[in-house]
Chain A
């Protein structure tokens, strides 16, 4: 285990004991939101960092998962767990559809197509206000009746850790190798007999399913959802989080999500300026440290070992 891995593991352990050492509820709430973003940032990096497919639909997929989970509960009377699963399946299937439809597209063409899908979803949710309450927002029942912030915190921590572990398991399997091979040389990979079509579609589906899961949980935590959770602004935060943490690694991206959300709260006095500062940091990172803070640390620490 490298030094960086030890540090990150220690941070996770620290996160698990935080509620026991009397951290104020306000910060637990912030961390819970941070864990939601951790799931989004890491699932986004699963797609962008490993198979090299860009998507701007991650926030919209989280919203899709959230709305499906909430509406199956309200309209069909499903209990929380089945409706959460419905959200995951809906987001996963939508991702599979996008992935399959856009097989031919790369780079900016793919980016534009995913923006279009995301915006159509957001516009539909806003327009069908008889069902979704539109931009007034949809009231959501709590995940667990009468649960306090500590319970939610642990649920989100467990969800984020399990999600990232599942992603790592996927990436360390043969499938993960296929992903990276496709990223490096799609035609070459296909010529070696890898089913590029299948894995490219599946990578999209896996990434969006995790986003749908995060969105469903988030909806039942904040208990009010609006179409703005699907906006490009929100997508921008997810991108900045993944980039600052390091989008070439799902673990780094997840930490980027938590860290950025905590900093956003801690620097609240700066007002809107803090968002501008994060924009600058994201740009500088992309330009000079494309592997993010943790990717940069990793290479630094490696160099020291030698």
Chain B
């Protein structure tokens, strides 16, 4: 294998990592604040793809507005879902909160998937990408649609980190995820922070969907695989850890591109591509449920 080929694979891994990180950060944010895993996250991602399709293909807006549109719409969807379905967990209106949270988000995933199937049909759609053509870095050639999508993804991730670190809102969200009771004592509005975190989490997934939609088509079932990857990433990094989500995404992206080319029988290697991460997921959960950066809980 030549150096250029290795660099190309590494670059592909980095681009994929950006999208994994976007989706995973949403899951981490939601888990941090609300202590639940959102099993409908892949469907939020899918809705982001369709929001982009609506804005770009049907309304004819420029592609960058597709991403903005997706972020805004999914933020609202997330906040409504949080208010209607998740909030009752924390106000003591639900008998078995753990199981309820898992089942209600899983049922929501089924609902959103079938809703998209009913409204848009199972046919793939392809909104226009932000940029076309190819970028050449010496001998390294990268398709422009992917590179531009990853670039915007990185901007969004950096933006999120800045908001979390320096704004009052971000500090409130981080405080709640560190210690719910203490945050409340210090006057942080938990209800608001929860709604915000869930909305932001959904918006991140939506942004990822809107960015990838033009590259790999928009279809109702598009969320299943990336969501699974994002669960692997957050578990690897530690559920609820922002840093963990980013590091986990970087690791998974590289593992996937290189594990695939290391196996000689190429068709089988490709078929098993999605399984490597799942094995990692199981191993991490069994050996170290708190992941690389998570906080150990007595009951994982």
Contacts and interface: CB of A to CB of B under 8 A. Distances in A.
B289 A104 contact: yes
Contacts of A282: 107, 110-111
A112 B107 contact: no
A170 B291 CA distance: 37
A116 B278 contact: yes
Given A243-B103, A275-B114, A287 B228 contact: no
B282 interface: yes
B104 A286 contact: yes
Main secondary structure of the interface of B (DSSP, over half): helix
A276 interface: yes
B281 interface: yes
A115 B228 contact: yes
A52 interface: yes
Nearest to B100: A286
B5 interface: no
Interface string B269-284: 0011011001101100
B300 A109 contact: yes
Interface stretch (A9-17, A141-149, A152-160, A233-241): A233-241
A126 B37 CA distance: 28
Contacts of B85: 283, 287
B115 interface: yes
A290 B95 contact: yes
A127 B271 contact: yes
Contacts of B118: 271-273, 275-276
Interface in A274-306: 275-276, 278-280, 282-283, 286-287, 290
Interface string A68-104: 0000000000000000000000000000000001101
Q: How large is the interface on A (under 10, 10 to 19, 20 to 34, 35 or more residues)?
A: 35 or more
Interface in B209-235: 224, 228, 231-232, 235
B98 interface: yes
Interface string A5-39: 00000000000000000000000000000000000
A127 B272 contact: yes
A111 interface: yes
Interface stretch (A117-125, A171-179, A197-205, A214-222): A117-125
A47 to B, nearest CB: 11
Contacts of A232: 224
Interface in A127-148: 127
Contacts of B299: 106
Contacts of A290: 94-96, 100
B102 interface: yes
Given A101-B286, A104-B300, A280 B111 contact: yes
Interface string B228-252: 1001100100010000000000000
16 contacts: A56-B106, A102-B285, A108-B31, A108-B98, A113-B281, A116-B285, A119-B274, A123-B274, A127-B275, A272-B114, A272-B117, A276-B111, A278-B114, A283-B85, A286-B103, A286-B107
Interface of A: 48, 52, 54, 56, 101-102, 104-109, 111-113, 115-117, 119-120, 123-124, 126-127, 232-233, 236-237, 239-240, 243, 271-273, 275-276, 278-280, 282-283, 286-287, 290
